[in-house]
Structure 1
Amino acid sequence: MSNDSAASHSSSESNTSRWGDPVVLGVSIGFIVLFVAMSLYDIDMVANGISAGFAWTARTLGSFFQLLLLLTFFIGIGLAMTPAANARVGNRHTPEISTFKWLSIIMCTLLAGGGVFFAAGEPVYHFVVTPPAFDSEAGSAEAVAGALAQSFMHWGFLAWAVLGSLTAVVLAHSHYVKGQPLRPRTLLYPVLGESVMRGWLGGLVDALCVIAVVAGTVGPIGFLATQVSFGLHELFGFSQGYATQLVVLGVLGAVYVTSAVTGIQRGIQFLSRFNVFLALAIAVAIFLLGPTLFLTNAYLQGFGEYLSSFFTMATMTTETAPAWWMQWWTVFFFAWFIGYGPLMAIFVARISRGRTIRQMILAVAVMAPIATTIWFTLLGGSGIFYQMNGMIDLGEALNNFQFDVATLTVAQALPGGTFMALAILLLTTIFVATTGDSMSYAIAVVGTGHDDPNPFIRAFWGVAMALMAAILLYMGSGQISVLQQFIVITAIPVSLVLLPSLWTGPQAAYAMAREQGLLLQPKENKEHARS
């Protein structure tokens, strides 16, 4: 960039940083207000409209979402194996954040409340209702491997790869080398150039990505309130009503807003590190005190089945599986992760300065998914063991999608009963808080175009999501499930934002490698070939 354009860019960024992008703020806040207002006016109309859009999107674009995740993962892994992957992010020779802290933030931000919320219930659900990819008898010993494998498919390699592998490479090059802001629109910069960085189009792209993340984050925040209030009712006899849920939301909001305001180096890092230690302690306790041999065998069989049936599960469509099953499981989860994709990539690019591209891709697309499969086996595998042995019965609850009941029921069946249930409720709460703080930070980054946004803007988005969850809970928990259906619809524009990274990701990696002297420039290649 020339000095003049750099000064212009800096001035523009400064103004935007202070006040926020009017298009991003207008469209995203307008959506929140409109959604709540329309719901207050006619809940059924909103629910029916979104339900119809959800069904159409899942039926029509489900295969596209699946293909996008498949290509992202395999191209990302292929890129990690090339010499270009030795390039470092952010023009630093040493990492900005220690390896343990870095991995902790990635795990807590991306696995977060969704993974913890579903970790106990989803494997048990697939155990009592055999997934379409398998033909084992539901509830039998043969059904264990398929149940875990299906859960691994939804929360494994494909899910994580779309959250911050190729897209994080594109953002790292565009931001740290080209000087572009950390915003979703920057993912389109290699294709559309400066035209997308200025004006309404870029603002609209950013706003649509913010809406997808708000929709995806408010759901877990609201579900956590119902889960914790249910837990407090079961364990201590507290009221399970709206007042208790409101108190839970208030405490949760205070925690993650404080964390977001203090920033990556303090609050977000501290919360993530504490959560990892707590998760490790719970994992060790479950493994040693629970059905150890069963869990070990179940993991080996489940992961083996995951690998051997990988393409069968990943490419299943409504032609080969019931439409309702695809809508509410594979397509829903994949759309949810797509919706998070751009802002998660911003976060990964921001915390990975000094890391090589290979380290970044392998941490996000390989190491984190494997850790996730272990966690799902410990909680969900224990649930399967207790269900199979008649110690619990979650069949009816899970058929009604009551996953908050599943988590607490499995926790109470574990050794230590009440203590383990409290520990897992605390863990779930902090996991959701780490999602809240990182997304408040990332949304503020998008709105301001600056990777150190004003603390008040971070706090605003954190409070806004908590308030939206509170309003939806007041209107009825069904509205949060409506919002989650809306996630699938928001994945449509976001998927188009992610799509170019399939080729711009490798291009950006090779450009970084050449700029850092790790690969020969094209002209040098020709001279080298002649000699």
Structure 2
Amino acid sequence: MTKTKETTVSDRPMKRLEHVFAGVNPTMAIASIAMVLAFVLFTVTNAELANSIYTGIKAWIEGSLGWYYVTVVGAVMFFTFWVGLSRYGNLRLGKDDERPEFSNFSWFAMLFSAAVGTGLLFWSIAEPLMHMQGNPFMDMAGAEVGSAESAQIALRITMFHWGLHGWCVYILMGLVLAYFTYRHGLPLTIRSALYPILGERIYGPIGHAVDLLAIFSTLFGTATTLGLGVSQMNAGLSYIFGWEISTTNQLLLIAATSIVATFSAVSGVRRGILWLSQWNIRLSAILFLFLLLAGPTVFLLGLYATSIGDYLAHFIPMGLWTDSDPERQWQGWWTIFYWGWWLSWGPFVGMFIARISRGRTVRQVVIGGMLASTLGAFLWIVIMGGTGVYLQLNGTDLSSVANNDLTMVLYKTIEGLNVHWATLPMAGLATLMIVSWFVTSADSATLVICTILSSGDQNPPQRYRVIWGLGLGALAGVLLLAGGLQGLQAATIAAALPFSLVLLVICYCLFKAFHQEERGLSYAPVNAERRRCASSSS
């Protein structure tokens, strides 16, 4: 009896450990938490040193590797289009008789909400106004600062940064993961994309390292967007209610919205995330309709077609251009930052796109996803950015607002339309949209991180959704403390570098897998569920 009792007592710590890590890979869970805690502690205790390190890394990448980022993103865009237009486009992401789980509207709403909402709210007006004040393409064209020609070039650059080059990273990652998961029975994690060259070794240390890299990239990319979102949210509350714009208030906003995002992540894709995504689109439509009707309607309608044509005529040479002037920092400040942002979000958005794309064909995901998302982003930029540009050209000095405080540009644009009865309601709607888009990005990222930690389980344990939902908010707060917008941008560009190498390997793996499938071979393990469970307990 004593021996049995002693055995039971000695087993308790092990049972507690098994309970804590039930449903997730313990190696991945411990390593990811340790990675984030180490970063947070270092940044909090050495904020000044941390900021100098992050900005130093950013400066080195911009000065030495700008050409590399331009090459990677350009190559991925051409490869993605080739995949969508090739004979492999009819392959279904699942069994041959499967059909899509979500309607086209729901699919697009979730894809767009997870991917770009908060960032577009922040930059769609501010970025063209900044570019109108000077950029290398204006210099090459001989355009004068503040002229109509400078405005067209500014909108072209903004559309370039939010166009096909960026979306290809998301769409390709989503396609690859959906292909290996739903067609070949591999887990829904980044490591599965490397199965053609690693085989069963994806379940070992190499696979762990790749997934940890994806978590690292997701955390920093998402934290950047959350940092931008709360800055603009704080500006909106200041404009409407007179709240002080301060780091303290922004940290409080991060805490509050992170709690809401965590509840949404706990509720899952079909409830919280789908519902929020659909409402994001509806709320955006209301704001767009107001700007279109209260603003320069005819100008904006003509600008959409004109700007798309201008973009199509220039996006390839712009995508191949690298600045030969070592003293000019424009490309690093803008294009390299954006390519780093898209790359760092690649694992997160890609996994989320894969999660909602089961049953679609390769061509539907690539061509439908890239064209619909790009045209949606362009509509956003033309209506919001075009309104700001029109006001600037006609005497409203929004450029000074952008120079002093980027977060206030959206609200001053609404005010500049001089529809006094609608100014505060529309400012309130814009702030609500920031919260809604913010929450959708955060809860989607939380679900993706937990899916990786649970070795591809698409319904990961809820306690981990809570831990990572709150942890993501904490990381955004720490980065904000470490250096504001500059610190966030530095972290994004640095996090994208290692993942860009993985992305190039993934392109080769997909190409190899397509050829293998033509020969009738499958990359699925003999027992995918058994292998997933074995990986979770490793």
Letter in 2 for 1:411: I
Instruction: Give the match for residue 8 of structure 2.
Output: none
Q: Is the 8 A contact 2:196 2:512 kept in 1?
A: no
Letter in 2 for 1:25: A
Assess, with a 3 A threshold, how the Cα gap between structure 1 residues 516 and 191 changes in structure 2: closer, same or farther: closer
Assess, with a 3 A threshold, how the Cα gap between structure 1 residues 471 and 61 changes in structure 2: closer, same or farther: closer
Say if 2:390 is the partner of 1:385: yes
Of residues 428, 432, 455, the one that matches 1:422 is: 428
Assess, with a 3 A threshold, how the Cα gap between structure 1 residues 430 and 359 changes in structure 2: closer, same or farther: same
Instruction: Give the match for residue 532 of structure 2.
Output: none
Of residues 396, 406, 410, the one that matches 2:409 is: 406
Instruction: Give the match for residue 227 of structure 2.
Output: 222
Instruction: Give the match for residue 177 of structure 2.
Output: 171
Instruction: Give the match for residue 488 of structure 2.
Output: 483
Assess, with a 3 A threshold, how the Cα gap between structure 1 residues 214 and 346 changes in structure 2: closer, same or farther: same
Instruction: Give the match for residue 3 of structure 1.
Output: none
Distance 1:259 1:211 in 2: 22
Say if 2:210 is the partner of 1:210: no
Distance 1:31 1:262 in 2: 27
Summarize deviations over 1:172-214 as a string: whole Å, max 9, x none: 232223322111222222222222x122222121112211111
Task: Quote how far apart the aligned CAs of 1:267 are.
Answer: 0.8
Matches within 5 A, 1:59-458: 59-91=63-95, 93-132=98-137, 134-135=140-141, 136-165=143-172, 167-195=173-201, 197-319=202-324, 323-395=328-400, 397-399=401-403, 402-414=405-417, 415=419, 416-449=422-455, 450-458=457-465
Distance 1:291 1:344 in 2: 34
Unaligned runs of 5+ in 1: 1-13, 518-531
Instruction: Give the match for residue 529 of structure 1.
Output: none
Distance 1:65 1:257 in 2: 33
Q: Is the 8 A contact 2:223 2:475 kept in 1?
A: yes
Q: Is the 8 A contact 1:23 1:207 kept in 2?
A: no
Q: Is the 8 A contact 2:220 2:491 kept in 1?
A: yes
Task: Quote how far apart the aligned CAs of 1:494 are.
Answer: 0.3
Distance 1:375 1:251 in 2: 27
Larger displacement relative to structure 2 (236-245 or 144-153): 236-245
Assess, with a 3 A threshold, how the Cα gap between structure 1 residues 355 and 319 changes in structure 2: closer, same or farther: same
Letter in 1 for 2:87: P
Task: Quote how far apart the aligned CAs of 1:385 are.
Answer: 1.0
Q: Is the 8 A contact 2:398 2:413 kept in 1?
A: no
Letter in 1 for 2:407: D
Task: Quote how far apart the aligned CAs of 1:509 are.
Answer: 4.6
Larger displacement relative to structure 2 (245-254 or 63-72): 245-254
Distance 1:346 1:109 in 2: 11
Say if 2:65 is the partner of 1:58: no
Q: Work out the number of aligned pairs and report it.
A: 498
Task: Quote how far apart the aligned CAs of 1:277 are.
Answer: 0.9
Say if 2:41 is the partner of 1:37: yes
Query: TM-score normalised to the size of structure 2?
Result: 0.87
Distance 1:51 1:408 in 2: 30
Unaligned runs of 5+ in 2: 1-17, 523-538
Query: TM-score normalised to the size of structure 1?
Result: 0.88
Assess, with a 3 A threshold, how the Cα gap between structure 1 residues 324 and 24 changes in structure 2: closer, same or farther: farther
Q: Is the 8 A contact 1:174 1:186 kept in 2?
A: yes
Assess, with a 3 A threshold, how the Cα gap between structure 1 residues 354 and 461 changes in structure 2: closer, same or farther: same
Q: Is the 8 A contact 2:261 2:439 kept in 1?
A: yes
Larger displacement relative to structure 2 (461-470 or 170-179): 170-179
Distance 1:438 1:279 in 2: 19
Task: Quote how far apart the aligned CAs of 1:107 are.
Answer: 1.0
Instruction: Give the match for residue 46 of structure 1.
Output: 50
Summarize deviations over 1:335-358 as a string: whole Å, max 9, x none: 111111122211111100111111
SS of 1:129's equivalent in the other structure is: coil
Summarize deviations over 1:376-425 as a string: whole Å, max 9, x none: 11111111111111223323x4346x321222222322342222211111
